[in-house]
Amino acid sequence: MDTLLSGFQILAQWDVFAALVIGSIGGVIIGALPGVGPAVAIAILLPATFAFEPIVGLTLLLGIYGSSMYGGAIPAILINTPGTPVNALTTYDGYPMTRRKEGHRALSLAYTASFFGGIFSVICLILLAPLLALIAPHFGSREIFLAAFMGILLVVVAHRGQTFAAGMLACFGIFLNTVGLEPVKYTKRFTFDQSWLSSGFDLIVVVLGLFALSQAFLLLVEKDHAPQDANVQGNMFAGVKELLGFKRIATISSSLGVLMGMIPGVGEFTAQFLSYTYAQKTSKNPDAFGNGSPEGLVASEAANNAVPGAAMIPLLALGIPGEALTAMMLSVFYVHNVIPGPQLFETQLDFVMALYLALILLNVIVLVFLLFSTNLLLKIIQIPTRFLGMMILTLSFIGVYSLRNSITDCAIAAGFGVLGLILKRLNLPIVPIILGMVLGGIMEVKLRAAMAAVKTPIDFISRPIAAIIFVMIIGIVVLHIRTLILEQKAKQNPEPLGPDYEHSSQQG
Amino acid sequence: MTRIKYFQELFQRYRRPGDLVFAIIFLLFALFLLSQLGEQTKWVKRTKWFGQPSLWPSIAVWGMVIFGAFHLLGSMVSPRIYGRLKEVLFWLRSLEYVLYFLAYVAIVPLAGYLPSTILFAVFIILRAGFRRPQHLALAALFATCIALIFRGFLQVKIPAGEIYQHLPDALRAFALTYL
């Protein structure tokens, strides 16, 4: 109770609260703009947050992360264009509802389901916090190494149909992290005697290039277009009561969101896929899915909005980011010398509580904001895409240049911008590169520390948690092989590959 | 023949035009890194395998080569998609904006953040095909707001422009700190 109160006290500071409001409302607008996801916004704002207190910076980024998917549902439902890639599934049932003149119902249902998912995940976190505080100290070097390895493995196998691409890009990320002066033996690695390579590749420079600059180049080179004019009429509170009729689907979808958010390397897409499949299989009207089923809409929105809160678990408890956005947040911790991990729960539980409370508050702020200002947002998002490209390019400059005032950093970021553009055009995933960079570094340090106390290979997995993670890794590999065999058998009755079967591999 | 067909089916995958070009370039890059592995990383004496500086670069580069080879194989055995050249030209067109971006980076320390950002935003908007005065005015307004918020209000670390030294005394100090 005391920690809860001190959490409230932290949140009551004016700068923390201002960051929360700006982050939440800004996140909704960013999410609603097709072409700018939370990853672009977080990448741009990241260096600016280094000047703030860690709690202020993190609250701002968390606000953007947690609210963008609310905003992304608006264009998905009204104009059949997802605001963020995660909202793609929302178009399946949201847009047909709009065509039936039920846009207001679909929107309010999406907002309420997202709110339910968001709050559900935070409640799970608060309930899990004491348990995490109990378990987290048992995570030593070998457990963290195994968990990071599991994260890499999952991010590779979760990209179904693109496993090799995800694998090679994850390894590329690990490689990027190794470039420069090695900190223990002080030997150079892949520097080619170039002084600009000696300090290695900064994560933020790479992130800004891959997410923000790539998006700016893409929008500027692609044909210009602006989201069509749309407005919504009718009672925006219609779905609030209606959600009560879908309690079961909302609860199970949110639980799947929490579960998938907690597991490193897996995220919104898997959570949505599982919850949508579950909702369809258990529905009395499965044929309506894809044609404007409120159940499908609830399943998709509740699941994706439960992920951000849960994704904070591995980050806070173990210092292991599960996806690109939490990987970016990790750098905020490092800059301020706050090391996320087991000690955080022992020494700064009020800080963790403040973050959880911020998550609850942001959901409330966003829901109230959206119920009253959807039509206003629809006007804001009609920015032509090339104009948006200019805006992102201008903002990206601040992000990269303000780090070290280095022209080299800007050139490196621009190079990664072109790489990101190519990957986005090919629909190859960017996230494995970022996770490879972050988790690769963690694995290198933790393996070195862990092996000092290991005499035989079996020692490595002799502790209970290490053994459990090891069994999980084996399970993932076995299940993946089984899925591949089943898919190969299913190819005997092939289904046509077309645009309807393609989903975005991009996150944020 | 059946075996070849089965092999093709095993590695066939969904892809977009230009995938083969990227797969080839990536594998060549990975092979180049592999060829440099001995030269660019050290195997240190009296250090166990897990502490070797070359361990993780080796894992990463070998991973890039193996996964990259399978990725290329998948691309080669999948049905051809037309539009490869058009796609590669699209990638190359982005270099034009890279050039503008780097020019902007070079100008900021000379001309100052506010003036160069306004110039850059208006130029990019003109290059992107906007001609209406309200678009240009909006771009200039956006640039001004960004410069004032980030350098003036948030005090983000961006050097003052050399050009500010030539401003009148009353304006110089203000420009050096806030613009």
Condensed to tens digits (0 to 9), the pLDDT of residues A167-194 reads 999 999 999 999 999 888 889 999 999 9
Q: Is B105–A410 a contact, with Cβ atoms under 8 angstroms apart?
A: yes
SS (H, E, C) chain B: CHHHHHHHHHHCCCCCCCHHHHHHHHHHHHHHHHHHHHHHCCCCCCCCHHHCCCHHHHHHHHHHHHHHHHHHHHHHHCCCCCCHHHHHHHHHHHHHHHHHHHHHHHHHHHHCHHHHHHHHHHHHHHHCCCCCHHHHHHHHHHHHHHHHHHHHHCCCCCCCCHHHHHCCHHHHHHHHHHC
Which residues lie closer than 8 Å to A399 by C-beta, 6 or more apart? Answer: A43, A44, A45, A46, A47, A48, A204, A208, A212
SS3 call for A491: coil
Asked whether the beta carbons of A507 and A431 are under 8 A apart, the reply is yes
Identify the DSSP state of A85. Answer: G
| Interface residue B84 vs chain A (CB under 8 A) | no
């950002």: which residue's tokens?
B117
Per-residue pLDDT, A238: 73
| Interface residue B110 vs chain A (CB under 8 A) | no
Q: Is A397–B159 a contact, with Cβ atoms under 8 angstroms apart?
A: no
Instruction: Quote the CA–CA distance of A503 and A484 in Å, as a whole number.
Output: 19
| Interface residue A295 vs chain B (CB under 8 A) | no
| Interface residue B104 vs chain A (CB under 8 A) | yes
Return the structure tokens found at A93.
Answer: 């049932």
Residue at B174: amino acid letter: F
Which residues of chain A carry a pLDDT beneath 50? Answer: 496-501
Per-residue pLDDT, A500: 43
For chain A positions 413-472, those within 8 Å of chain B (CB to CB) are: 414-415, 417-418, 421-422, 425-428, 436, 440, 443-444, 447-448, 451
Q: Report residue B10's pLDDT band, with 50, 70 and 90 as the boundaries.
A: low
Q: Is B130–A391 a contact, with Cβ atoms under 8 angstroms apart?
A: no
Q: How far is the alpha carbon of B168 from chain A, nearest alpha carbon, in Å? A: 26
Flag whether pLDDT at B24 surpasses 90: yes
Ranges assigned E (strand) in A95-223: 180-181, 188-189
CB count, 10 Å around CB of A33?
A: 27
For chain A positions 31-60, those within 8 Å of chain B (CB to CB) are: 47-48, 51
Instruction: Quote the CA–CA distance of B2 and B77 in Å, as a whole number.
Output: 14
Rounded to a whole number of angstroms, the distance between the first and last alpha carbons of chain B is: 71
Flag whether pLDDT at B178 surpasses 60: yes
Quote the distance between the C-alpha of residue A42 and its chain's center. 11
Identify the DSSP state of A50. Answer: T
Q: Mutation test of the interface with chain A: which of B67, B90, B158, choosing the one with the most A Cβ atoms within 10 A? A: B67
The ipTM estimated for the assembled molecules is 0.93
For chain A positions 187-226, those within 8 Å of chain B (CB to CB) are: 187-192, 213, 216-218, 220-221, 224
CA distances to A267, A323, A406, B164 from A305, rounded to whole Å, are 11, 15, 37, 48
Q: What is the pLDDT of residues B120-177, one digit of tens each?
A: 999 999 999 999 999 999 999 999 999 998 888 888 888 888 998 888 888 888 888 8
Taking alpha carbons only, the member of A264, A164, A89 closest to residue A480 is: A164
Residue at B79: amino acid letter: P
